[in-house]
Chain A
Amino acid sequence: MGARLNGTPASSGIAIGYAKVLRAETESSEIRKIDPAQAEAEAAQFDAAVASAAAELEAIRAKLLGEGKTHEAEIFEAHAFLLEDEELVGAAREKIVVESYEAASAILETAQEVAEVLGALDDPYLRERSADVLDVGRRIARLLRGGQSDGAEKGAAEGASSGGRMILIAEDLTPSETAGLDASAVAGFATAVGGATSHSAIIARSGGFPAVVGIGADLMTIRDGQLIVVDGGSGVVLVDPDAAVLADYEARRTADSGRQAAYEAYRDRPSVSADGVRVELVANIGSAADAKEAKRKGAEGVGLFRTEFLYMGRDELPSEDEQYEAYREVAETFGASAPVVIRTMDIGGDKELPLLELEKEDNPFLGYRAIRISLDRPEMFKTQLRAILRASAHGNVKTMFPMIATLREWRAAKALLEEAKRELSGQGIPFNPEMETGIMIEIPAAAMMADRFAREVDFFSIGTNDLVQYAMAADRMNPKLSTLSDPFHPAVLRLVDRVIRAAHEQGKWVGMCGEMAGHPLALPILLGMGLDEFSMSASAVTRARWLLARLHRDRISSLATAVLDVDDAAEVKELVLREVPDLREIL
């Protein structure tokens, strides 16, 4: 009975709940007509379905009220009210009698028309009501077409009564949609497109939602209210699992929460391996609010502050003062000594900024983005650099430049930074003249030239999401390429190893701010290679610290060498699991 769908693991953990399907486009429902002579009989069936729908809604409402869930009950009360609406039910009935519509087609089309009217209003509350109208239309259509009141009904009622814990099913979720998810209502999600490093996956991890992405079109056959299990660790989604399977997943979910408690105990401990090697476990953030959340979750600083979010979704560029306030707030959140690495803006690629009026490109990831734009707009860039420098007076602020491919770019960016320093000095504005300045290593060209860069920069931060994409020539948004987009491929590990060695030879430190840094399987490898700083989703920090405390760098340094000398990613993972068998139980 149950279906099993496979996708890309995006955010680990097990979520169990009822499906809430978000459809980007309206359902295309083919309109069926009937013999006009049957119209009266069809209308009578329609009336009966409306009455049944009313009875269903009343039963759900009564159940919810009995459980004291007045707010949820009100939603169904409003639906019942719509069943009496002339514009909806009356208009649908007219389509049957006058235009010989099949009853289900009539109500679906009418609901669609009404929803479009409401959806066009500029009031967000009313736009949401269009979803209620569609819901009511589908309910009646389902009763007419003989669908049983099984999954969908049970889901609606029990989903709401279990505190509304639902599994979102969608073609894709935009970053802002994902960020806006209400943790009390949403247990997890599954999407048809996207890869492990798509922004929705990243935000799912930082929010701690189990998620599977890139499942493909089959996902959209799921209906509202079906029971769904999302196993974010293995990338599996189960639809209406049978009781034994469900019980198994419930047990695993309970074990998961036990492990979470064990990780939580490491929230305030130092990040140190079993043999006393100290590293930094820091967080990737996009805002001052993220910084507070990251600190609460045990991060000891920030390894990547994505500043582009300050630029997005607005009509004008952020002013120096505005940026300064945002950077200072983050620096002060973590206190004077904790590192906060601010990356200059990385617009372009999959992050658009309409106000820069960038041209559409065929290959945006290989195009005009990040430092390439900043160097072309020195005034805009210097505004940001001045704001970062001013924040450096308030904490251990460092800055780094994204998408550096050549030494020339690095030097041009550094020159603008020095210019900004001179301007501030001239105005008597305080900043840290010794602020550490580094580069992201995400382009293979920079990884290959790391020895040259290491002479001039203060540090490297390896951005594995883009490094993997560029090294493997595999678009990270394309689920068909997810097996290629694997940071564990020895080709990628060789680049990482090379960069770490090059930096250490010059006495510089190296961090990693890609998703790989928080992956439990990667931690032993990276620790063995000597990585100094691991920057990850805040929700992964305590797990990493727990795991770190169980690893001996001495014992795994041979692992770090061995993984460079195999054929593929699968062999790498096998080697790691053989060396650190405990990992099996936390994956």
Chain B
Amino acid sequence: MQKTFTVENPTGIHARPARKIVEAAKTFAGDVFLERDGNRFSAKSLVKVLSIGAKQGDSVAVIAEGDGAEAAIDAVGAVLVSKESH
């Protein structure tokens, strides 16, 4: 399943939010992906999450399958829509 979120952080997905996304994704046993403009990235790699280069206002889809997928998607999505930079 997948849900789409809009990045709210004014500085985009930088170090701190990127780490929170990875931490959230790693609580889920299966794969979690972020998709932007048709490109798919593992949400479990800080490097990959950073390299999305997502800025405020960008739409990012969060994708995961299986048991607990929805909770993982929501946890990652919560970081995407958070305005906190620290």
Contact = CB atoms under 8 A, between A and B. Distances in A.
Interface string A488-513: 00000000000000000000000000
Nearest to B15: A78
Interface stretch (A122-130, A310-318, A429-437, A528-536): A122-130
B12 A123 contact: yes
Contacts of B44: 86
Interface string B40-71: 00101111101101010000000000000000
A88 to B, nearest CB: 6
Interface stretch (A113-121, A207-215, A548-556): A113-121
B14 interface: yes
Contacts of A121: 51, 53
A179 B51 CA distance: 30
Interface residues of B, number: 16
A88 B47 contact: yes
A109 to B, nearest CB: 15
B12 A133 contact: no
Contact of A122 (B14, B22, B46, B53): B53
A118 B15 CA distance: 13
Nearest to A74: B15
A448 interface: no
A125 B53 CA distance: 10
A129 B45 contact: no
Given A81-B19, A129-B15, A123 B53 contact: yes
Contacts of A114: 47
Given A78-B15, A81-B19, A87-B42, A126 B50 contact: yes
Contacts of A125: 11, 14
Given A123-B12, A129-B15, A117 B47 contact: yes
Contact of A126 (B19, B42, B48, B51): B51
Contacts, number: 41
A123 B56 CA distance: 13
A117 B50 CA distance: 10
A569 to B, nearest CB: 53
B51 A118 contact: yes
Contacts of A133: 47
Contact of B48 (A81, A87, A129): A87
Contacts of A123: 12, 53, 55
Interface in B20-49: 22, 42, 44-48
A82 interface: yes
Given A118-B50, A126-B50, A129-B50, A86 B14 contact: no
Nearest to A117: B51
A491 B81 CA distance: 71
Nearest to B55: A123
A129 B42 CA distance: 18
A85 interface: yes
A133 to B, nearest CB: 7
B48 to A, nearest CB: 6
A82 B53 contact: no
A81 B50 contact: no
A88 B44 CA distance: 12
Nearest to B48: A87
Nearest to B41: A87
Contacts of A88: 45, 47
B15 A85 contact: no
A117 B15 CA distance: 16
B47 to A, nearest CB: 4
A529 B70 CA distance: 85
B51 A85 contact: no
Contacts of A85: 45-47
A86 B44 CA distance: 8
A82 B51 CA distance: 14
A82 B50 contact: no
A169 to B, nearest CB: 26
Nearest to A113: B47
B15 A82 contact: no
Nearest to A115: B47
A431 B19 CA distance: 60
Interface in A123-162: 123, 125-126, 129, 133
Nearest to B51: A117
Nearest to A77: B19
Contact of A82 (B11, B14, B47, B55): B47
Contacts of B48: 87
A125 B51 CA distance: 11
Contacts of B50: 118, 126, 129
A532 B77 CA distance: 70
Interface string A100-122: 00000000000000100110011
A118 B47 contact: yes
A556 to B, nearest CB: 60
Nearest to A110: B47
Contacts of A78: 15, 19
B45 to A, nearest CB: 4
Given A121-B53, A126-B51, A82 B46 contact: yes
A488 B14 CA distance: 54
Which residue among A121, A122, A129 has the maximum number of chain B CB atoms within 10 Å of its CB?
A129
Rank and list the top 8 A-B pairs by shortest CB-CB distance, nearest first. Answer: A87-B47, A87-B45, A86-B45, A121-B53, A85-B46, A114-B47, A117-B51, A85-B45
Given A81-B46, A117-B47, 11 more contacts: A78-B15, A81-B19, A81-B22, A82-B46, A86-B42, A87-B45, A118-B47, A118-B50, A126-B50, A126-B53, A129-B50
21 contacts: A78-B15, A78-B19, A81-B22, A82-B47, A85-B47, A86-B45, A87-B45, A87-B46, A114-B47, A117-B47, A121-B51, A121-B53, A122-B53, A123-B12, A123-B53, A125-B11, A126-B50, A126-B51, A129-B15, A129-B50, A133-B47
Interface of B: 11-12, 14-15, 19, 22, 42, 44-48, 50-51, 53, 55
